C-alpha cells in the first residue's frame, strides 16, 4: 500500500521575465514502511522535492497525495497536525528555537500533542544520540553535529509515520553518524515508519530499499535493493 504518491509534480520560480524550472514532471510512489533515498548533484532539485513531499512548500502544478489526501490543496491549519504528528522533519538548517534548551526543543512537538510522557521520551532519545548531558544547553552552545542530533530527536519524539530528512548525517563524525543510522533503522523496524531521505552517504544509500537519482529536476534513474 502506498503512503505517498506524486503526480506530474512541477516547481518553477520566476526571475524577472524568466521562468526557471526546478522540478519537472516528477511522479513517484512510496510504499508504507519503505526506506527511500533521493540523490543527485547540487542543484538537481533534491531539497525542493523533499519540501514539496512534506508540505513545507507547494508545487507550481501536480499533486502530492499522502494517505489518500491531496496535501497540495490544504490550508496551513489543515497541514499543521500532519506536520506535528504524521511527519517528522530533519532539515539542514535545523530550525531549533534559540530561546529553548535542547530538552525543551526536543519536547516541544510532544507538548503540542499534549503527550504526558514528553520529558521521558525526550530524555531517552537524547541518550540514544549521546546528548544526555546537553539537555540544559541552548542551541548557540552546540556544535553543528549536536544541533543536527537535537533536530533528529525532535523529529522522532511523536513517532512519525513518515520521516523526511535532508543529509541527516552530513555534519556528524563516524561514531555519531552511526548512532543516527541505528536510530533511523530502529524507527523503521520498531514503528514501521516510512523514511524519505536526501543524502550523499553511501552507508545510508545501502540501507535503503530504493534510491532515486535526480538530474536537472527530473528522475534520471532508480535502483531497488533486495531485502
**Could you report the per-residue pLDDT of 1-33, keeping only the tens digit for each?**
899 999 999 999 999 999 999 999 999 999 999
- For the residues of 124-149, what is the DSSP string, one character each? HHHHHTT-TT-TT--GGGS-HHHHHH
Split at pLDDT 50, 70, 90, the class of 125 is: very high
Q: How far is the CA of 168 from the CAs of 1, 150, 182, in angstroms?
A: 26, 11, 12
CB 88 within 8 A of CB 108: no
Place of cell 524577472: 16
Cell readout for 146 is 549536536
**Average pLDDT of the segment spanning 39-47:** 92
pLDDT, residue 190, reads: 85
Residue 51 CA to residue 166 CA, distance in Å, equals 10
Using DSSP's 3-state secondary structure scheme, residue 10 falls into strand
Residue 142 CA to residue 208 CA, distance in Å, equals 30
- What lies within 8 Å, CB to CB, of 226 at 6+ separation is none
pLDDT, residue 90, reads: 86
Q: Indicate the angle between helix axes 118-128 and 144-156, nearest 10 degrees.
A: 140
Q: Domain 2-93+154-224, what fold?
A: Rossmann fold (3.40.50)
pLDDT, residue 227, reads: 66
- For the residues of 16-40, what is the DSSP string, one character each? TTEEEEEEEEEEEEEETT-EEEEEE
pTM for this prediction: 0.89
pLDDT digits (tens, 9 = 90+) for 68-124: 999 998 999 999 888 888 999 887 778 899 999 999 999 999 999 899 999 999 999
Amino acid at each position: 500500500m502506498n503512503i505517498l504518491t506524486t503526480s506530474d509534480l512541477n516547481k518553477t520560480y520566476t526571475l524577472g521575465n524568466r521562468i526557471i524550472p526546478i522540478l519537472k514532471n516528477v511522479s513517484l510512489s512510496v510504499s508504507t514502511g519503505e526506506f527511500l533515498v533521493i540523490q543527485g548533484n547540487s542543484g538537481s532539485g533534491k531539497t525542493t522535492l523533499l519540501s514539496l513531499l512534506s508540505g513545507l512548500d507547494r508545487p507550481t502544478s501536480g499533486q502530492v497525495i499522502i494517505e489518500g489526501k491531496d496535501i497540495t490543496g490544504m490550508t496551513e491549519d489543515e497541514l499543521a497536525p500532519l506536520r506535528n504528528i504524521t511527519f517528522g522533519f530533519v532539515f539542514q538548517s535545523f530550525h531549533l528555537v534559540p530561546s529553548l534548551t535542547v530538552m525543551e526543543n526536543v519536547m516541544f512537538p510532544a507538548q503540542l500533542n499534549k503527550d504526558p510522557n514528553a520529558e521521558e521520551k525526550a530524555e531517552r532519545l537524547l541518550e540514544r544520540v549521546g546528548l544526555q548531558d546537553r539537555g540544559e544547553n541552548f542551541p548557540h552552545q552546540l556544535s553543528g553535529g549536536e544541533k543536527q542530533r537535537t533536530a533528529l530527536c525532535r523529529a522522532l519524539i511523536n513517532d512519525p509515520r513518515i520521516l523526511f530528512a535532508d543529509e541527516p548525517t552530513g555534519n556528524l563524525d563516524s561514531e555519531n553518524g552511526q548512532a543516527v543510522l541505528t536510530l533511523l533503522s530502529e524507527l523503521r523496524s520498531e514503528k514501521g515508519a516510512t523514511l524519505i531521505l536526501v543524502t550523499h552517504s553511501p552507508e545510508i544509500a545501502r540501507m535503503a530499499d530504493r534510491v532515486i537519482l535526480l538530474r536537472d529536476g527530473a528522475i534520471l534513474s532508480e535502483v531497488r535493493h533486495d531485502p
